[in-house]
Amino acid sequence: MSLYVRSQDSRHDDQKSRQLRHRDVRRKLSSILFDSMSRTPGVALVGTDPLVSYFATSVGLDGACLATCQAMLDVIGPVTIVGVPSRLWYRRNAMDRLQRLRASMEACGRLCVLIPQPVIVMLDREGDESSSGKRVEVLLELIRDPQGMGVDHPCCGPVFGDPIGCRAMRLLTGADCRA
């Protein structure tokens, strides 16, 4: 009988590989967010928001895995959109930490919205540019007027996640935010 014991180097390689995958997901989400917002009238991109990384660390999250896009919206002013990878969105303890991150951002006077990975990917979905633009407009309208867009819908309660992100999930992907 032989036992296979993973070497320390093997564990280090696995951790390094996982970090690279997480970084690649963040880069992809960031790229989609910036590209989508830059093509939208009434939106001026500011850049990433370093305050997200600061608060992520303070609540025990790795800020480097979150995609951030700070933009000035024509009606409401600055907003920080945080793209949340699915591996965090669907985990209860990670979502609790993300909620604390969002609350800390808003305590500093920064409107912060958590958007799940499937919604961001949907913004980049193949199709004509007008349908992609319409998806971005739906997301922006959710940020501008959450109640008018049905954020008080039963699925979107504050019990699980960000109500705007949950409603965006339902409207843009047709899926439940708690899948």
24 belongs to a structural domain: no
122 belongs to a structural domain: yes
Query: Tell me, what's the pLDDT at 157?
Result: 47
Q: Which residue has the higher pLDDT, 138 or 22?
A: 138
CA 131 to chain centre: 21
C-alpha 176/C-alpha 94 separation (Å) is: 18
- Would you say residue 98 has pLDDT above 60? yes
Q: Which residue has the higher pLDDT, 21 or 137?
A: 137
- Report the domain count for the chain: 1
Q: Are residues 138 and 69 in contact, defined by beta-carbon separation less than 8 angstroms?
A: no
144 belongs to a structural domain: yes
| pLDDT tens track for 106-162 | 999 999 999 999 999 998 876 555 566 788 999 999 988 888 887 776 555 444 678
Mean pLDDT value of segment 19-36: 86
Could you list the residue range(s) of the whole structural domain that residue 91 is in? 42-173
C-alpha 115/C-alpha 170 separation (Å) is: 12
Mean pLDDT value of segment 101-107: 95
- Would you say residue 103 has pLDDT above 80? yes
11 belongs to a structural domain: no
Residue percentage of the chain with pLDDT more than 90:
42
* Contacts of residue 154, Cβ cutoff 8 Å, sequence gap at least 6: none
27 belongs to a structural domain: no
Q: Whole-model pTM?
A: 0.83
Query: Tell me, what's the pLDDT at 130?
Result: 58
C-alpha 147/C-alpha 106 separation (Å) is: 18
Q: Which residue has the higher pLDDT, 72 or 75?
A: 72
Q: Are residues 74 and 42 in contact, defined by beta-carbon separation less than 8 angstroms?
A: yes
32 belongs to a structural domain: no
